[in-house]
A and B are shown apart, each in its own frame.
Chain A
Amino acid sequence: MKERRYDNELNTRLRQQAAVAELGHRALADAGVEDLMREAVRKVAAELRAPFVSLVEFSEARGGFVERASAGLPGSPDEPFVPRGADGQTGFTLGAGEPVIVDDLEEEGRFRPSRRLFALGARSSVSVPIGSRERRFGVLGASSRRAGDFSPDDANFLQGVANILAAAIERARSETRLLTEQRRLEEAFRHASEGEARFRELADSAPVLIWTADADGMIDFINRGWLEFTGRTVEEETGDTWVLGVHPDDSEGVGSSWWRAFRRRVPWEREYRLCRHDGEYRWIVGRGVPRFAEQVLVGWVGTATDIHERKQMEEKLARAAARDHEVAETLQRSLLPEKLPRIDGVQLEARYLPAAQGTRIGGDWYDALELEDGRVAVVVGDVVGHGLRAATVMGQLRNAFRAYALVETSPAATLARLNRLLSKEDRDVMATALYLIFDRDTGEVVFSSAGHPPALVVTRDGPRFLEGGRSVPLGTADPATYRDEAAVIESGSTMLLYTDGLVERRDTPLEDRLAQLATVAGVAGGDLSDVCDQVLQGILGGLRPSDDVALLAVRPEPVAPGGLLMCLPADPSALAQLRRRMGRFLQAAGASEQESFDIILTASEAAMNAIEHAYGPGDAEFELEAGAEGPVVTVTVRDSGSWRERRGTERGRGLSIIEGLMDEVEVTPGPRGTSIRMRRRLRGPSGAATDLARTGARTLRTQRA
């Protein structure tokens, strides 16, 4: 089993942790103790892959062990009613107060192994005590038919389950105690009508803390049990000074809740910490009920019960459950692919389907980012294997990719760096990756593949794979040579990048699956999200995949010649983006190279005014709107400042450039900012020759508000 588990070691721990957390949640949700014990046994059998599991309770009354839940064990245990301290494993475990691992029952010398387990062919076992040293409840044990099947980690898991059981049992027991005391109190009430002296006599002999108060809420009686608990005198405890013994953090709540109940004459109940005679603050639950004689309030009677152990168990349980849950959540979140970034001018959609089997965390990843030069980088990768290790490597690869992609301009160079990273660590890890960079303006694509299946491009003419640029997976050879391959994507095309979980299946050759993908993707329609859903549905048929599947769909947004609206930060760094977006818009609108240059330049000059007008370094923005009506292009730049020529003689050219290059310029200062609207009639590539004739038609209007 050690060998069997080796590959999945961390994955196993992760699952065990999740199982403990889930049991903790059930316990907190107040599941019945019986149900909880059965569930615990089920979980232990599943997580330890143990054929035999037993949960026994030590019964003081019966002087031995009673089986409360079990798995794989027929009949009754052979250790019932065996006195504690006897020579069996259960008694030994209870006495030891810590986990006991038996690698081989045949060679066990510390105690006499269970005959029943022997008869069933058990060879190794692990057992843990349930309950604290002070309050022992019983023992939880698991056995296997193979020798040496349980590790200290398994014992820790088992102890985690036992601790949750202990807390739940302790809570259930203290509830029972409270009920009993409640009944005693009611009993005392009934006798109170027979006379105050009789009541006090009864109260003093009761093993609970009892007090009474008069109609003004002043304590007028404290029983012996109370005085013994606090170690104070009757004088100190009567009147209204009893709250002095309450923990400083609780006293305000205790006082106010008590007086509120007192004024309304309704029963009072509060959990708080009370100082015991030895100075230790103990959690108690205080209760009080008004006493009426013929509908007139005559006073109050109340109890206090020590619930310290229960409270501590609950706190521990809540802390443990919260921590386990947090760990599991954080792991999931950090290991699964993040939300994709929003990148202007490109639609991105991704799907991630974990494998059908259990809570396996895979090593699939994808990412997208905008490079310094304005191109967009997309990547899909797959770390071979599953579990925490694969997921950790995936996380490192993703982070490294983000760093390398920003300094390397070629996909092959980036992959080579990732390969070096993976090989250097000398950790026998292999990963495939496909890295693709595309230019939104030109449709040019450069890509490189490290043993990864090819990207599929769906164009108007049909689907085709981006072949070439293939090399070995990352981590298999160092140094390894990676190659860039170039292609051009027609505008309006969709690119699909995916991991092999989508196309690999044992019963079908890869070629057939790729052909199927092309067919399914070729007929998929609608928006990008629909395309993803249709591809997954078409390939997987609505079933969860047997391996993780990551799918990344990329579609450069075709620029509508109708218009463009951008909201940009009032910062010079926005200018490069403005030029790219305007370039695509003008290309779509049919502008010549000269016209594009002129209009981009004037839009930028207007934007530079907006940027300089923005007061302060805050979050100021400006808006750029561009539209084409027939051959006339209109560009409007709105800012939140007032129009003025930019500072300094050196920059006095902005407006004259705008005036010189556009047919019509209109500056409108408004109360909330200035807008500048510019128009130019396009002649297209063929109209370049008549360009100069246009200048005569130019007008400039500057309105004053």
Chain B
Amino acid sequence: MSTAADIALEREGGALVARLRGEVDMTNASFVREELTSSVPNDAHALVIDLSGARYLDSAAIEVLFELSRRLGRRRQDLRLVVPATSPLRRLLTLTDVGAVATMHESLDEALGRR
């Protein structure tokens, strides 16, 4: 039995959208970090991580988000998270103050400014 996550990448105008599905814990957090940091191109102005399909994140995953925001910040790129209002992840993200380094959106459209 192991922890499994998969990431689907898609370019949406100036933003890179990463759909993260599954679970991220301390066993696969570094894999997720490498996957995300290496896939953001220089010319993108934002990385949007869609967590609609994410079932589980732990403190190691939260740390990945903080580190990503630091790296993106150095290139003046935004980090945006899509977290549906009903997602149990919201509590965790609020509690760990992820809002200080990333904006939270209820839908992908909202994150991409389509609304």
Contacts and interface: CB of A to CB of B under 8 A. Distances in A.
Interface in A188-246: none
Contacts of A468: none
Interface in A84-107: none
Interface stretch (B11-19, B34-42, B56-64, B105-113): B56-64
Nearest to B63: A650
Which of the listed residues B67, B88, B92 has the most CB atoms from chain A within 10 Å of its own CB? B88
A665 to B, nearest CB: 14
Interface string B49-74: 00000001011101100110000000
Given A572-B25, A660-B95, A653 B59 contact: yes
B56 A597 contact: yes
Contacts, number: 75
A149 interface: no
A370 B2 CA distance: 11
Contacts of B63: 650-651, 653
Nearest to A692: B91
Interface of A: 370-374, 572-573, 575-577, 579-580, 593-594, 596-598, 600-601, 604-605, 608, 650-651, 653-654, 656-657, 660-661
Given A597-B89, A651-B59, A657-B95, 4 more contacts: A576-B2, A596-B88, A650-B67, A653-B62
Given A601-B58, A651-B59, A576 B91 contact: no
B59 to A, nearest CB: 4
A604 B27 CA distance: 12
A372 B2 contact: yes
Contacts of A573: 1-2, 27
B104 to A, nearest CB: 16
Contacts of A594: 88, 91
17 contacts: A373-B4, A572-B25, A573-B27, A575-B26, A576-B3, A576-B25, A577-B1, A580-B1, A593-B88, A594-B88, A597-B92, A598-B92, A600-B56, A604-B58, A650-B63, A650-B66, A657-B59
A373 B55 CA distance: 14
B103 interface: no
Nearest to B27: A572
Nearest to A577: B1
A328 B62 CA distance: 59
A593 B58 CA distance: 16
A601 B58 CA distance: 6
Contacts of A579: 23, 56
A605 B58 contact: yes
Nearest to A595: B88
Given A573-B2, A575-B26, A576-B1, A601 B96 contact: no
The 10 A-B residue pairs with the shortest CB-CB distance in the complex, in nearest-first order: A597-B88, A660-B95, A653-B59, A374-B1, A650-B63, A572-B27, A594-B88, A576-B1, A576-B3, A577-B1
Which of the listed residues A373, A608, A653, A661 has the most CB atoms from chain B within 10 Å of its own CB? A653
A593 B90 CA distance: 12
Given A572-B27, A601-B58, A661 B91 contact: yes
A374 B67 CA distance: 30
B32 to A, nearest CB: 14
A572 to B, nearest CB: 5
Nearest to B26: A572
B71 to A, nearest CB: 14
Contacts of A650: 63, 66-67
Contacts of B26: 572, 575, 608
Which of the listed residues A572, A580, A600, A660 has the most CB atoms from chain B within 10 Å of its own CB? A572
Which of the listed residues B2, B66, B67 has the most CB atoms from chain A within 10 Å of its own CB? B2
Given A657-B95, A661-B91, A651 B1 contact: no
A374 B1 CA distance: 5
Nearest to A657: B59
B88 A651 contact: no
Nearest to A648: B63
Contacts of A598: 88, 91-92
A596 B92 CA distance: 13
Contacts of A660: 95
Contacts of B1: 370-374, 573, 576-577, 580
A596 B59 CA distance: 16
Contacts of A651: 59-60, 63
B27 to A, nearest CB: 5
Contacts of B27: 572-573, 575-576
Contacts of B59: 605, 608, 651, 653-654, 657
B58 A608 contact: yes
A605 to B, nearest CB: 6
A656 B4 CA distance: 25
A370 B1 CA distance: 7
A72 B67 CA distance: 91
Given A372-B1, A605-B59, A656 B95 contact: yes
A604 B26 CA distance: 10
A575 B66 CA distance: 22
A654 B60 CA distance: 9
A575 B4 CA distance: 12
Which of the listed residues B23, B58, B67, B92 has the most CB atoms from chain A within 10 Å of its own CB? B58
Contacts of B92: 597-598, 601, 657, 661
Contacts of A608: 26, 58-60
Nearest to B60: A651
A608 B92 CA distance: 17
A197 B114 CA distance: 129
A577 B23 CA distance: 13
B7 to A, nearest CB: 17
A608 B88 CA distance: 20
B78 to A, nearest CB: 22
Contacts of B95: 656-657, 660-661
Contacts of A580: 1
A693 B26 CA distance: 31
Contacts of B4: 372-373
A372 B88 CA distance: 25
B115 to A, nearest CB: 26
B40 to A, nearest CB: 20
Contacts of B2: 372-373, 573, 576
Contacts of A604: 25, 58
Contact of A575 (B3, B67, B91): B3
Which of the listed residues B1, B4, B91 has the most CB atoms from chain A within 10 Å of its own CB? B1
B86 to A, nearest CB: 8
Nearest to A579: B56
A593 B91 CA distance: 12
A50 B51 CA distance: 77
A576 B2 CA distance: 6
Nearest to B58: A604
A372 B3 CA distance: 8
Which of the listed residues B62, B95, B96 has the most CB atoms from chain A within 10 Å of its own CB? B95
